Chains A and B, each alone.
Chain A
């Protein structure tokens, strides 16, 4: 029993991909390049994580010797086949960041880590800044000196908050009055004179052991190559005909799964720090890796469910019945709550403590992304929580497909909210570029996965747990 992509599916995905390309071209000519790069980073990260979640799901099932999922393992396996493409997209974005084609990562600016510079170096640096940003909005200064863009409400015009914002509010005002350019102050000095770098950022210098370009690129290569290795290996071994040698085959898969989990446990956290948390380099959160993981797993499960529903509505995957759907639904429900738990743990401690360098992270989002930031909680928590609460909802392919589609968009918004404030601050938009690029990546991801699914029989006939999966009952 094989799957073949129907004409309708193929055309829809092609339209999505064409829309994505159009959006990219439109963005290159019509939109600020920083915003285009930031969007590429959002989609690069999100869809790589989506594919990674497929490989993670497969690994967990083998390592846990789970029988129920034996009949549907082709889908998460196939999702992992997108990893090389996602990796290339990410590497393009990172490569452009390292060569200063974009300024997604504030900390990659080496000048900020120099304690002493010469006057000419300072002049040159500030000329560069002015040329890049027209002297107006300073994207380099995402946190350090806010030029007041998109600001100005929240502290002053709300008397009730005057005292309550306290230290954070004062810090914001202090930042807006700080000068951005210093070269004039040193104009009288000779060019070769060494001076204390007024742009020196002791926090970035202190973190440079972790946040430096060679380590960043090397680690990114290790993460991506490691994940791709495991994804391809799972797929290859899974397609092997292991008649008569099922036990040996299964032990091999179990060990591979266990090793992947060890690798994933470390790299899912460190990649989250490197790629996402370092966008706001002054801020840190100790549970950020798990937060990323929770979002990754929910969106991955949603994707598995969506693919499964597509196959089921074509009359395939008859061996996967409502009992298997029920378990996937429970997974999705539970991990939506887990995601919320981490989201809230991160938010509440920072809100409560109200320490300036921490609270600015949420202040940015509250002031410039107000609706999306609150919508994020509704779409990713309240919605699945209420809809998936009953047993019947979790056993219906239609309901799960609906919730899955919404959650895929919801967690994309979550990643959008992680990347955008630190890269484009208030200059974000939600137009053809964002929607088109998202759809383009949906098309690319869907195409890659469905093509991989169509290349192998849907049922792994020699899987030792296939019989157990057929009798699964909850």
Chain B
């Protein structure tokens, strides 16, 4: 098992996609693909699982709703009973229409911020994080495929050959 990493550089995302499909078919595991923009249809090819962010969003939203209702109930019903709209009933449910906007705002606020922050943390996009993009050209007009030889049983030469025939314009390697 070698600790070698092979990078294949492409100048067209369609060519990369085709090559990736072929590599995966032959049993090569592609660690990642670096691209200046999202490549349509690459996720299922290189085995990126579907995100669970929406579940986190739902939980954050529910937390936001609970926060809003706890706050309203504590402040406007228990601590300082409020006469809302000339209807002095001092109950939560009978005043509910007046509380819906706040409930909505806090649900959306917590859901949106929670999801954004979770996304940044999960993708290691916080201050002080070293960039791990192997080649700055992939932020401009090139596309790069990363293959860790430890992930795959296919021989190094074979992988390189497949990349070459798949249309890679440059193949580099790195020892870790």
Contact = CB atoms under 8 A, between A and B. Distances in A.
Interface of A: 160-161, 163-164, 166, 344, 347-348, 351-354, 389-391, 473
A354 B101 CA distance: 18
6 contacts: A161-B89, A164-B87, A166-B87, A348-B97, A389-B58, A473-B41
A352 B89 contact: no
B86 interface: yes
B100 interface: yes
Contacts of A354: 85-87
Nearest to B55: A390
Classify the interface of chain B: helix, strand, loop or mixed: mixed
B99 to A, nearest CB: 10
Given A351-B97, A390-B54, 17 more contacts: A161-B89, A164-B89, A166-B86, A166-B87, A344-B97, A347-B97, A348-B97, A348-B100, A348-B101, A352-B84, A352-B85, A352-B97, A354-B85, A354-B86, A389-B58, A391-B54, A473-B40
A348 B99 CA distance: 10
B98 A348 contact: yes
Contacts of B87: 164, 166, 354
A164 B91 CA distance: 12
A154 B87 CA distance: 14
Interface string B85-96: 111110000000
Interface string B110-151: 000000000000000000000000000000000000000000
Given A473-B40, A473-B41, A164 B98 contact: no
Contacts of B98: 348, 352
Which 6 A-B residue pairs are closest in the complex by CB-CB distance?
Answer: A164-B87, A352-B85, A348-B97, A351-B97, A164-B89, A166-B86
Interface string B9-33: 0000000000000000000000000
Contacts of B100: 344, 348
B76 to A, nearest CB: 14
A163 B85 contact: no
Contacts of A160: 89
A163 B97 contact: no
Interface of B: 40-41, 54, 58, 84-89, 97-98, 100-101
A195 B23 CA distance: 96
A160 B54 CA distance: 43
B88 A163 contact: yes
Most interface-central of A352, A353, A473 (chain B CB within 10 A): A352
A164 B86 contact: yes
A428 B87 CA distance: 30
A353 B85 contact: yes
Contacts of A352: 84-85, 97-98
B85 A351 contact: yes
A389 B89 CA distance: 35
A315 to B, nearest CB: 27
A163 B85 CA distance: 12
A213 B60 CA distance: 54
A168 to B, nearest CB: 10
Contacts of A347: 97
A160 B98 CA distance: 18
A163 B88 CA distance: 8
Contacts of B40: 473
A473 B84 CA distance: 49
A31 B14 CA distance: 69
B90 to A, nearest CB: 10
Contacts of B101: 348
Contacts of A473: 40-41
A235 B41 CA distance: 35
Contacts of B54: 390-391
A354 B58 CA distance: 35
Contacts of A353: 85
A390 B54 CA distance: 9
A353 B85 CA distance: 7
Contacts of B85: 351-354
A229 B25 CA distance: 56
A150 B74 CA distance: 38
A321 B88 CA distance: 55
B88 A164 contact: yes
A390 B86 CA distance: 41
Contacts of B58: 389
A473 B44 CA distance: 13
Contacts of A163: 88
Contacts of B84: 352
A48 B98 CA distance: 35
Contacts of A348: 97-98, 100-101
Nearest to B87: A164
A394 to B, nearest CB: 12
Contacts of A344: 97, 100
Contacts of A161: 89
B128 to A, nearest CB: 34
Nearest to B84: A352
Contacts of B41: 473
B88 to A, nearest CB: 6
A146 B86 CA distance: 25
A178 B87 CA distance: 27
B126 to A, nearest CB: 28
A329 to B, nearest CB: 15
A391 B50 CA distance: 11
Contacts of A351: 85, 97
A352 B86 CA distance: 8
Nearest to A167: B86
A160 B85 CA distance: 15
